[in-house]
Structure 1
Amino acid sequence: MADGTMSAKFMKSAFVGWTFTAGVYYPPDFDASKLMPVKALKPKGPQMMNIRMMFPFTMVCDSCKEYNYTGTKFTAKTEQIKGESYLGLKVYRFYGRCRHCWSEFTFKTDPKNSDYTMESGGKRTYEAWKDADAMEAQLKQEKEQEAAQDQMKALEQKAVDVQSEMQRLEDLDAIRTLNKRLGNRDQSIQSALDYLFQQDSQRNTEEEEMSQAELKELKGFKEEKDKKEEAEAAKAEASSSSSATPGSAILSAVQERASAAVAKAKPKFTVKVKRKAEEDREGESAAKKPCIEAATDAASTAAGTDCGGGLLGAYESDSS
């Protein structure tokens, strides 16, 4: 530089030796033919792969007798088993350690039964569904063998299979129809509303097409019917009111009968009792003579007669 200063780029280039090799030093006796490929540097033998997985089944450890339950996470080493496969599917082995005692256990995949098989270090607990699946597979195999030996049973089994297949197709068709209906929900609602509106408009047009005479006749018929209903309602109300108070009619009849009986038993004569006044009030033995006069006529009863002495009083009594 003219001013004696050096830039950072110049210093960096000077530091690596002006070779642009990023600081890599090649000695004078370097021979490229002696370099080994990267594949040769990889370790040989079975390749182990660390994965994080969960227990596919409940296991009892052989060392500590503790349970390692299904779904418990653990780190496992995985390797492919050489020379073992099922219908082209590879079989893998898993190495893991117990969560309690840290002892090692191994299990491998079972492609035939879509399951896992315990190999060492523990025991798998009993699972009812596994036995049920095994029994179902065994029964199916036995039926196939019987059908292969007996043609009649094979025909019956074929008929049953065809019937079940038809039932499955019908169920599938019903599900598709339902899904199609639900998929076109807005269109179905719109079509239903259009149908209702069309019915309403058709009803209105029919009412408008009716003649005036028919409307008048219909109105008169309705009025006559209303009057008839009102008359029947009034009649029913009157009958209900008369039947609702039977005691008043009975009471009036009893009163009339009692008044008639009293009028019939009343006598046609009156009795007047008159007492003679004492002639001598000073005497101890004053004679009193009652006077009883029976009068049949009303005038004679009103006049009255004097018996002996003075009239003390008149008493009228009706004999009942």
Structure 2
Amino acid sequence: MSERKVLNKYYPPDFDPSKIPRMKLPKNRQYTVRLMAPFNMRCKTCGEYIYKGKKFNARKEDVENDDYLGIRIYRFYIKCTRCLQEISFKTDPKNTDYEIEAGATRNFMALKLAEEQAIREEEEAKEEEASNPMKLLENRTKQSKNEIELLESLEELKDLNRRQEAVDYDSMLLAYDPTISQREREEKLQQLDDEYVKTIKFQNSQKRKVVVEEEIIEDDEPEAKVSKPETPKTETASSEPKVQKKIVSARKMLSGLVKLKKDEPKKEEKPQTSGLSLLGAYSDSENSE
């Protein structure tokens, strides 16, 4: 079984390859090869669309009297899959591409033509700059102006990024989480508002002013006694002496203003006679008569 896989063949000692007869073939004969369509094309006869990569049994031949820097150029013949119209194209080693010759039109040629036009314009601009120094100076000034504009726009973007550094996007996303319902979001915001209001009230209660009430009691003694105000616990030690001074000054001012009432003898009250009593008395006098 191993003899089937041997690649080397046996050559007898008296083997002479020159004695093997040779076939006389034409110089430019065609070969049948299997290839794929190198680009998208459309048949001119029936309008059939042939996409890139479709496989064909093609005939290959050498292009006579035509090469590029010693590289041989080949021509291929295929047939349309619908109308069997013959389509021919050849290799293009200069542009590393293929060139359609007859039987079909190449699709999407606009991009290739645009690229070729751009390359041509670039070469013309280089030649003009080399021959005209004023054009070169003008192009350099335009380039420097564009660079300055780019730097200014870059600085503006950097400033904008610095301003947005303080923004906490994570907290914003958590606050506006789409998974949370609208009601839960409103309740959460209400809770935060209530906590903020409580903190403000607590701060205001610590800073409120203490009002000391004074009461004046009238006695038989010539001097009015003023009750001592109770100092609240919230009052600080630093404010105690000031409040005491104010209370003493108020006592002095009030002692001069208050006048005690003397005990006057009570006058005998006259009985008040009403109109009805007088009328009764008058009626009694008539009956007596």
Report TM bin, short chain: 0.3 to 0.5
Q: Which has the larger radius of gyration?
A: 1
**TM-score normalised by length of structure 1:** 0.37
**TM-score normalised by length of structure 2:** 0.40
